[in-house]
Structure 1
Amino acid sequence: MSKTNKLGLWILTALVVGNMVGSGIFMLPRTLSEVASPAGVLLAWVLTGAGVLVTALVFGNLAIRKPNLNGGPQIYAKELFSKGSNASILSGYMSTWGYWIGNLAGNIAIITTFAGYLSSFFPILTSGATLMTIGSFSLKTGNALTFLVCTLLLWTTHFIILRGLENAGKLNFAATATKVIGFFLFIVIALFAFEKTNILPFAEAQVDDAGNKVGLLGQINHAAVATLWAFIGVESAVVFASRAKKQVDVKRATILGLLIALGIYIGISTLVMGLLNHSELVQSDKPLIDAITTVAGPIGGKLLAALGLISLLGSTIGWVMLSAEVPYQAAKQGLFLTSFLKENKNGIPIFSMVVTNLIGQLFIFSTISNSISDAFNFVITIATLSYLIPYFISSVFQLKMVATGETYVGQLRNRVTDGIIGILSTVYSTWVIIAGTADLKTFLFGMGLLASGIVFYGKLRKSKSSAVPQKLSA
């Protein structure tokens, strides 16, 4: 790849922030309020932020110490076993498969949220009128239009990226800068309208679906997977490490992007709870718009909806780029089908882009029969646990490197520090996995997702692991 098509610190940082501050910032205030009190929500954000911070430090450290292992945290799975062994290839492939499908689902969550915010300008997108009936199935007008909007956004983004990674990155940077400025203004305005009574009682016990009371620690556990969803994408710079101008920028962009996103999440989550009472918040499909409308009226809601559309557009670009890059980089490591190595004249993995977005199109079909919020919750259930295993693997790999001393010759202090960080990151990942799989439905979804990849593993073993990309005209 030419120097001019490499990604610098600020574009990498924009990818991290843009991919994290996507659909979560708009939908999670409602999701979290359904399972936790204000105290539980804030503690979940703080604990998740701390856990993701040590995990981000692991990503940054491995990107510098193992620059040849590009493509995302799932790549490190193969390094836990003997080089070239069946266990190495299988673990690397299965980890990549789960991570890739998780990325697909995450991207569709953003796209469906885009359609939800577009309904602020075009209410027909939520119309319950019946468009057509086939047997027992009735297609609603709003669902059909939402499907068309999501499809158009997905494939428009597809063709934008095919024209070149650097230009797509610049568009993502512009959208990310706009959203950061807009959210800062939201925080400033909301500070003056904050109602303390809306967050009282601050640490009240919650009642789950079975009618059981859930204490503060239980609320934090329930909120842990949802808050982790908000930080999915922190590894974006690591995925694009091979395309970075400087390897050190990967670590810098990861940490800087995380801190920016964490400040936005905690600030906005707290303030939304202060602008809407609990019953209003849990019933809202657009909590940020409803919150700002109480302060600035309908005009304020429209302006925030416009900001949301810009934000989600940038996030869509970043996530489509990320989703297609994962199997492409894995194929270069011999962990995915060689057909995913095909590039166009601009260095974009064209085959991976097409397959990734065709599968994404299948996820978009969930909007035909579900509401926006239902579709969002559905893809979160599928996606979140797909990221936990690669995060856990990265932490264990760092511990392995610390234990063997690989790349730490004459660096005892760094070795001890990285060992402590690796232990903390491993503990955090294990905690969230346990919390997330406590629900049987979530566990079965996660296992089913991973198991589905075995169908194509035989073909991978038979294919030649060619590392030379094939050039195609686009």
Structure 2
Amino acid sequence: MNQNGKLGFWVLTSLVVGNMVGSGIFMLPRSLSEAASPAGVLGAWLFTGLGVLMLALVFGNLAIRKPHLSGGPQIYAKELFKKGSKASNLSGFMSSWGYWVGTFAGNVAIITTFAGYLSTFFPILTSQAELLKIGTFSLKVGNALTFVVCTILLWGTHFIILRGLDSAGKLNFLATATKVIGFFLFIVVGIFAFSKTNILPFVAPRVDEAGQSFGLFGQINHAAVATLWAFCGVESAMIFASRAKKTIDVKRATIVGVLITLAIYVGISVLVMGMLSQDTLIASEKPLIDAIETVLGPIGGKFLAAVGLISLIGSTIGWVLLAGEIPYQAAKQGLFLKAFEKTNSKGLPIFGLNVSNGLAQLFIFSTISSSISAAFDFVIYIATLSFLVPYFISSVFQLKLVLTGDTYSKMMKDRWIDGIVATLATAYSIWVIIAGTSDLKTFTFGMVLLGSGIVFYKHILAEPKAKQASKIIA
């Protein structure tokens, strides 16, 4: 980062890697083993990795070709329609609203995972002793303490960020470097501890809650939303494009970040399956620690837990930054209330941070009545579905630029390449949306969250009229 507070390549890369390699790497091995056999898990990672790489190329291209449209993939929604039209404003707002909801909800998944790994040092966080009972509701000691820990991490991060983007960015970079080193050490240990018997049968049917059995393709399809959650944050560099030292660094950081993350995810996911039996893995609240303890004992578990805690602190910083930046950039585009444009003396979106973290606090209440893993599973599905629409919109917008020739010279090679990439990214987004909405309960709740934005949209429409009226009176 330079003296003007601009973000350089490595800090942007650390934001991309840090925001992707967060709670997913710690909890998803359990979720995926429950949803798919080892072959299905590996297939889901590779398929999702290819799809996300296409999205990364789309994000990088758009950051270069449309640098004035900064703030995230949701911003492109309004560009699909005639400028200033109702369709343009409504689509831009709804996309921004859904993306924002997904961001602060996703941050909760990271924070709750932090509490889960902290229990390695403080087992009381998993205590099932009854603290109080009100009617049919029973509050456990572990749940109450988890709620307190999550709250402290959320607001502690909030005040760290308010000290300035420079210090927050450096802290995020340090945490990301630590986690990458720690995870590669885990991979080295895992290679020696890998047992083929744990991943057998390599291909086996899985049964859902309704008792329906599904094969390999169905497993990959079922795991698609969960694996995509692990890559949510791939657009992090693009969101901060207006704060980047060089625009080209946004594309480079995004691509490098995806490749580093994919290597970590595939390596660790496969090795954990080879270090723990499938039944043990599915029942685990902290699978990576349970896996390393089978080799190095409690000391190894505590070391990895420490790396995990540092990692999750870094991820929390990155995601809290995103949650404040998204409504700030949307407000600058006229898609959110003008109040979200308010910044402090450090240039940070103070109003957006306050509101985003206040709403995240509401989601943290889910830890009071459910386990860490249950809260994690619930939140990641809601958050991922919220991200899918902006991802799809970005891909379609890239297709629009290719078809119209906007920002392209007469050379057809670039248009053909970008067209193929955008087509693949669009197809992938549609596929995951279909897979993610197959569960009616998740789909309904996600749509309720998305639709709730309509309540606030009328206030955004009223703002220009209020300004116009004030000018007439003046």
TM-score by length of 2: 0.97
Consecutive aligned runs of 4 or more in structure 1 exceeding 3 Å deviation: none
Q: Partner residue of 1:395?
A: 395
Q: CA deviation at 1:4?
A: 2.1
Which deviations, in whole Å up to 9, do the C-alpha atoms of 1:114-158 show, x marking residues without a partner?
Answer: 000001100111111111222332221111111110000000100
Q: Partner residue of 2:415?
A: 415
Cα distance in 2 for residues equivalent to 1:193 and 1:141: 36
Query: Partner of 1:4: helix, strand, or coil?
Result: coil
Confirm or deny: 8 A CA contact 2:226 2:381 kept in the other structure. Answer: no
Query: Partner of 2:401: helix, strand, or coil?
Result: helix
Aligned pairs for 1:170-319 within 5 A: 170-319=170-319
Moved more, 128-137 or 48-57: 128-137
Identity, in percent, stands at 72
Confirm or deny: 8 A CA contact 1:338 1:465 kept in the other structure. Answer: no
Cα distance in 2 for residues equivalent to 1:464 and 1:343: 21
Cα distance in 2 for residues equivalent to 1:139 and 1:213: 36
1:156 aligns with 2:156: yes
Q: CA deviation at 1:378?
A: 1.4
RMSD: 1.4
Cα distance in 2 for residues equivalent to 1:145 and 1:197: 38
Confirm or deny: 8 A CA contact 1:338 1:464 kept in the other structure. Answer: no
Cα distance in 2 for residues equivalent to 1:256 and 1:409: 27
Cα distance in 2 for residues equivalent to 1:108 and 1:206: 29
Q: Partner residue of 1:450?
A: 450
Q: Partner residue of 1:471?
A: none
TM-score by length of 1: 0.97
Cα distance in 2 for residues equivalent to 1:239 and 1:190: 35
Cα distance in 2 for residues equivalent to 1:298 and 1:357: 35
Confirm or deny: 8 A CA contact 1:331 1:465 kept in the other structure. Answer: no
Q: CA deviation at 1:2?
A: 8.9
Q: CA deviation at 1:374?
A: 1.0
Confirm or deny: 8 A CA contact 1:70 1:241 kept in the other structure. Answer: yes
Query: Partner of 2:325: helix, strand, or coil?
Result: helix
Q: Partner residue of 1:324?
A: 324
Q: Partner residue of 2:114?
A: 114
Cα distance in 2 for residues equivalent to 1:321 and 1:205: 41
Cα distance in 1 for residues equivalent to 2:65 and 2:465: 24
Which deviations, in whole Å up to 9, do the C-alpha atoms of 1:382-404 show, x marking residues without a partner?
Answer: 11110110000000000001010
Q: Partner residue of 1:470?
A: none
Q: Which amino acid aligns with 1:377?
A: D
Q: CA deviation at 1:465?
A: 9.9
- Residue segments in structure 2 that go unaligned for 5+ positions in a row: 467-474
Q: Which amino acid aligns with 2:235?
A: E
Cα distance in 2 for residues equivalent to 1:273 and 1:400: 42
Cα distance in 2 for residues equivalent to 1:377 and 1:185: 27
- Residue segments in structure 1 that go unaligned for 5+ positions in a row: 467-474
Cα distance in 2 for residues equivalent to 1:74 and 1:311: 27
Q: CA deviation at 1:411?
A: 2.7
Q: Partner residue of 1:437?
A: 437
Cα distance in 1 for residues equivalent to 2:208 and 2:447: 25
Cα distance in 2 for residues equivalent to 1:216 and 1:132: 45
Q: Which amino acid aligns with 2:120?
A: S
1:428 aligns with 2:428: yes
Q: CA deviation at 1:445?
A: 1.7
Q: CA deviation at 1:68?
A: 0.2
Cα distance in 2 for residues equivalent to 1:26 and 1:459: 40
Q: Partner residue of 2:343?
A: 343
